[in-house]
Chains A and B, each alone.
Chain A
Amino acid sequence: MQEADLHDLSDDPDYAASQQQALGRSLYRSDSAKSTEMDSGGGGGSETVYVKDNVAIHPTQYASERISGRLLLVKRDSSLFMTWIPYKLSVGGTDSTGRSSNAGILEKDRKLYTIKDVPLADVHSIRRHTPTLGWQYIIVVLSSGLAFPPLYFYNGGVREFLATLKQHVFIVRSADDANVFLANDFQDPLQKSLSSLELPRVVSVANGATLHGSVGALSSVENSERRNGDMQIATSSSEYSGRNKHKLHDPARDISIQVLEKFSLVTKFARETTSHLFRENHNNDSSIHERKQLDHKPSSASTDTQKISSAPVAPDPLEFDKLPLIWGKQRQQPLDVKEWVCFLDAEGRITDSKALRKRIFYGGVEHSIRKEVWKFLLGYHPYDSTYAEREYLASVKKSEYEIIKSQWQSISPAQARRFTKFRERKGLIEKDVVRTDRSISFYDGDDNPNVAVLHDILLTYSFYNFDLGYCQGMSDLLSPIFYVMEDESESFWCFVELMERLGPNFNRDQSGMHSQLFALLKLVELLDTPLHNYFSKTECLNYFFCFRWLLIQFKREFEYEEVMRLWEVLWTHYLSEHLHLYICVAILKRYRQKIMGEEMDFDTLLKFINELSGRIRLGDILRDAEALCVCAGENGDACIPPGTPPSLPLETASLYPQQDQDDI
């Protein structure tokens, strides 16, 4: 039986990966070109001083997949080089787990992650992880601030690796952390202090020269990453204000986004380590640069938690922490019809969309007008459209919807029998719609027609966006939309708009989720350093306990009515398009005393967070989140990697063009 094929059919293709195919190939080409050049240039005197088999990388988007390879230390002309070469597929026998699915993706990853002749002179430090459960791994951090994905030693041997290194290069154990080994510990303090700033900038100060030609395939990734980092520097300078727009229009973004997103995932752990490492050193040195900053802030006496020292408007996290979070403005009454019509001109245009969004941000919308207002908030109706235009749009879109819907409706039973993916998708949707909000009377009972509509919309969406397909969580997102719209076609198109923003949450490689979890980590670090340190100590930095919050925008955390209120506030994108991340921080901050006081471990924390469902006071949290968002300012923006959902769609093209190119 074609196990791999079937397996693959059981879900949807990784469209991001398929998009990267071309890119991957070109990376490979340059890689191999470089390697030959290297080999011939290397000359005779090379000696392998260390070889370890079964050292693997886990590309995070398929944490289940590992790429096993061989790690080598080679001495050439008295310099030491590190190389990690993944095994060829045919040698895959060594991959004892025998996983054969997604071979194509692995093949690409293999090339992408190959580490070729990295001079040890470029290595800043090596962090060793010997977890109590699971495999040992190391993270190699380059002087540039770039780090390689963790290398897992499936056959052990980390100690031997470090011992060998010690014989050939100057490494010292970090005074702060016995698991950190610093190589070439004589960098200039300026670079160090720069490096200790926010991570995007860590990458941006990368010294390209040292990496050129040495990292093979990775160097192109690294370039695109750096390009992005530069952009971030620009954005953090004071002249800058419209950060998001800038971000979206950056031409480099188009080219680099896929690689960047992918790579930033892979290096998620590595990045954490990077920032951690740099910070440690930084604090140790108490560089002049930082001291000066500290002098300006008499309140930040305990220096170890103070790190955002360079930004002129940097809030002091400690100080902030002491203040009760009451800065958010008083919530207002929801926008009602009378007020709503005042926003419309004679022909139905919304003249001041910003004022409208602000109004909704502070009070939400009365239920009776949600049907109308949500269409604007979601971007389905342009703010400057007229009544007539919207009416026309509705009719056009209705027939468009019917056409897409008919695509699956016309699949005969005989055809379906030969269409595994369709059957499975349909089956998954059928199972999920009957598990969606059945406690709401709108969806309760047997054979509820509204449940059938959910099914039809979702299946139609999975044809409209065949690459993304259906994923659990989507039914949760659709449910309130249909509840409000009460119209199948209109709900579909509003859902489409929402998925333009949240689609990456459901990417098969989980890239959207990982970038949000990563941003959340950075935000907590910024806004509640003690809590961050606590999570770090308790190995909770993966933030998986917030997964459900983010995946479906707190849908399961609040009462139905509150969910609708929250969503319309989020959709205004008034203060930030990432307010939802500040809401996460706000909730965590509310319970930080309990979390730290009771010394919750990962399991306990997960359980605690899951059980918060239905117990969070939305109004308070919105105000906290507003305060945090304002307080974090540009530093907060800098915590959020570009492309983190929900990113605003561009005016013309989609932000995720790969999802839309071949609508079926």
Chain B
Amino acid sequence: MASRRRMLLKVIILGDSGVGKTSLMNQYVNRKFSNQYKATIGADFLTKEVQFEDRLFTLQIWDTAGQERFQSLGVAFYRGADCCVLVYDVNVAKSFDNLNNWREEFLVQASPSDPENFPFVVLGNKVDVEGGNSRVVSEKKAKAWCASKGNIPYFETSAKEGINVEAAFQCIAQNALKTEPEEEIYFPDTIDVAGSGRHQRSSGCEC
């Protein structure tokens, strides 16, 4: 009956400090880039209306602080996520190495009912820097990791130049949608999932 209701899809963006999470979110939602963004403290989110087929959704994109010390806050924000975006900086090896930590951190704190199949999307950001000459993580390596974690969709982006950002979020939205149960439940308050499996989604990404 609720098929015409607008559904809220919650997306969490994670990754090391400075990889460009805030910039990506703003590029997608507001189509602009500024180098005056401040380091994120606490958390914030932006929303954007998206349309699939003939249905409208509200994408709620959460941007949190990247520094490890703030991770304990995550639990308050990760709950109820429909998709998790892992971002690294293709020019910083460490930010790629940390993807695994971020992924596990998320799974622990968000405690999705079906962790094996929870949708992630990985973004390798800042491909524009020095025309790609300073990159240290190859696309191949990134894709291999994504493949090893259950075929996580992978995009190479530049928040600065707006490269691939739209496409990436299109995929993110689609994946978020898949975690929703067949009969739509109006978000957010009273979904009783205590024990029952909420996230029944088919695996893989079709984008």
Contact = CB atoms under 8 A, between A and B. Distances in A.
B45 A472 contact: no
Interface string B96-136: 01101100110111010000000000000000000000000
A654 B40 CA distance: 30
A302 interface: no
Interface string A596-636: 00000111001100100000000000000000000000000
Nearest to B18: A431
B68 A11 contact: yes
A473 interface: yes
Interface stretch (B31-39, B145-153, B158-166, B171-179): B31-39
Interface-central residue, B69, B77, B100, B195, by most chain A CB under 10 Å: B69
A535 B89 CA distance: 38
Nearest to A436: B38
Contact of A431 (B39, B43, B104): B39
A60 B72 contact: yes
Given A132-B191, A133-B193, A601-B188, A551 B42 contact: yes
A291 interface: no
B190 A552 contact: no
B71 A130 contact: no
A157 to B, nearest CB: 10
Contact of A63 (B37, B42, B65, B75): B75
Nearest to A134: B111
Interface string A1-30: 001001100111000000000000000000
A131 B108 contact: no
Interface in A569-612: 601-603, 606-607, 610
Contacts of B49: none
A438 B101 CA distance: 32
B72 A63 contact: yes
B188 A7 contact: no
B105 A64 contact: yes
Interface residues of B toward A: which range? Answer: 35 or more
B26 interface: no
Contacts of A601: 188-189
Nearest to A434: B35
Given A133-B79, A428-B17, A471 B67 contact: yes
Contacts of B43: 544, 547, 606
B94 to A, nearest CB: 7
B1 interface: no
A544 B73 contact: yes
A475 interface: yes
Given A64-B74, A506-B69, A542-B76, A132 B45 contact: no
B41 interface: yes
Interface string A362-385: 000000000000000000000000
Interface-central residue, B65, B76, B193, by most chain A CB under 10 Å: B76
B72 A64 contact: yes
A544 B76 contact: yes
B76 to A, nearest CB: 5
Interface string A476-515: 1000000000000000000000000000001011100000
Interface-central residue, A66, A130, A133, by most chain B CB under 10 Å: A133
A98 interface: yes
A61 B69 contact: no
A66 B101 contact: no
Nearest to B60: A603
Contacts of A556: 38, 41
A439 B40 CA distance: 16
B192 interface: yes
A415 interface: no
Nearest to B19: A431
B36 A438 contact: yes
A63 B39 contact: no
Nearest to A9: B94
B7 to A, nearest CB: 15
Contacts of A551: 41-42
Given A11-B67, A134-B79, A97 B108 contact: yes
A544 B42 contact: yes
A12 B69 CA distance: 9
Contacts of A428: 17-18, 67
Interface-central residue, A134, A545, A601, by most chain B CB under 10 Å: A134
A552 B41 contact: yes
B194 A508 contact: no
A132 B108 contact: no
A62 B76 CA distance: 13
A432 B39 contact: yes
A11 B67 CA distance: 8
Contacts of B65: 472
Contacts of A235: none
Contact of A132 (B35, B40, B194): B194
B76 A131 contact: no
Contact of A610 (B44, B60, B77, B92): B44
B73 A99 contact: no
Interface string A88-99: 000000000111
Interface-central residue, A60, A132, A156, A547, by most chain B CB under 10 Å: A132
A132 B104 contact: no
A141 to B, nearest CB: 22
Contacts of B111: 133-135
A473 B65 CA distance: 11
Contacts of A130: 194
Contacts of A75: none
Given A63-B72, A64-B108, 13 more contacts: A3-B100, A11-B69, A131-B194, A132-B194, A424-B94, A427-B18, A427-B92, A431-B17, A472-B17, A472-B70, A556-B38, A603-B188, A607-B45
7 contacts: A132-B190, A133-B193, A428-B18, A471-B67, A472-B70, A547-B43, A610-B42
The 8 residue pairs across chains A and B that have the minimum distance between CB atoms: A431-B18, A547-B42, A63-B72, A548-B42, A11-B68, A548-B41, A472-B67, A438-B36
